[in-house]
């Protein structure tokens, strides 16, 4: 949009006031919020998700060591489905809050994507899980706000855990030792982002 500014010779005091008012209106109407508002539902949802996954992984580790029947993937499909659906709901909520946002150039999301890529060897033998495609989508940053992208990482880590569990039919201590910190990192960054919004940080 081109703004015509009258020459100084032709501008009287009234015209200058009108120009200033017009400029003020234009700036206000074009202002963009770079960070969405704090969402207590996402804050609480991530916290509850982490608590449930932390307990679940510890239980699976013990069950695997004891060769218990409940250590198998088939016994835990419902848990994966239900907890994954909760993350999906958070992603949908974040998308609704910033429907036209993107997260291009975010170091945080790029770091999470690289962390996810390091787990590729664990998913090499699993079907239907393309780690490289997920990482490429995260790095492009064009599929939602930074909050959405962080939640997508949480969901990808969740799917990776389920895929490994399905392939091995159990989660042993060495595998859990790698998965736990990865899940924690994604959730922690998501919570840090929400708490920063709550404090009014940009």
Rounded Cα distance, 19 and 71, in Å: 71
Q: 27 and 84 share a domain?
A: no
Residue 86 pLDDT greater than 80, yes or no: yes
CB 51 within 8 A of CB 187: no
Q: 193 and 169 share a domain?
A: yes
Q: 60 and 19 share a domain?
A: no
Q: 142 and 77 share a domain?
A: yes
E strand or H helix that includes residue 194:
helix 173-198
Residue 32 pLDDT greater than 90, yes or no: no
Q: 97 and 150 share a domain?
A: yes
Q: State whether residue 58 is helix, strand or coil.
A: helix
- Which pLDDT does position 191 carry in this prediction? 93
Rounded Cα distance, 102 and 157, in Å: 21
Q: 91 and 63 share a domain?
A: yes
For 3-19, what is the mean pLDDT? Answer: 48
pLDDT band at 98 (very low <50, low <70, confident <90, very high): confident
pLDDT band at 197 (very low <50, low <70, confident <90, very high): confident
Rounded Cα distance, 166 and 67, in Å: 16
Domain of residue 97 covers: 40-198
How many domains does the chain divide into?
2
CB 15 within 8 A of CB 6: yes
pTM reported for the whole predicted model: 0.74
Q: 91 and 170 share a domain?
A: yes
- Which pLDDT does position 144 carry in this prediction? 79
Q: Which residues 6+ apart lie within 8 Å of 179 measured at CB?
A: 57, 119, 157, 160, 161, 164, 171
For 176-183, what is the mean pLDDT? Answer: 91
Q: 107 and 7 share a domain?
A: no
Q: 87 and 19 share a domain?
A: no
Number of helical H runs and strand E runs in the chain? 8, 0
Q: 97 and 144 share a domain?
A: yes
- Which pLDDT does position 106 carry in this prediction? 67
Tokens of 5: 């500014």
């Amino acid at each position: 949009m081109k703004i015509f500014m009258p020459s100084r010779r032709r501008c009287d005091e009234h015209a200058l006031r009108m120009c200033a008012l017009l400029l003020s209106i234009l700036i206000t109407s074009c202002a963009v919020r770079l960070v969405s508002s704090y969402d207590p539902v996402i804050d609480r949802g991530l916290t509850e998700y982490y608590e449930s996954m932390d307990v679940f992984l510890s239980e699976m580790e013990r069950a695997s060591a004891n060769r218990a029947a409940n250590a198998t993937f088939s016994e835990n499909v419902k848990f994966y489905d239900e907890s994954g659906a909760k993350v999906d709901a958070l992603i949908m909520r974040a998308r609704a809050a910033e429907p036209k946002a993107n997260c291009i150039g975010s170091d945080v999301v790029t770091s999470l994507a690289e962390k996810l890529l390091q787990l590729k060897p664990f998913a090499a033998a699993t079907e239907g899980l393309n780690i490289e495609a997920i990482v490429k989508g995260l790095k492009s940053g064009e599929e939602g706000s930074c909050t959405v992208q962080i939640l997508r990482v949480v969901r990808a880590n969740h799917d990776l855990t389920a895929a490994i569990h399905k392939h091995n039919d159990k989660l042993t201590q060495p595998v859990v030792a790698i998965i736990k910190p990865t899940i924690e990192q994604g959730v922690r960054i998501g919570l840090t982002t929400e708490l920063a919004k709550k404090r009014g940080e940009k």
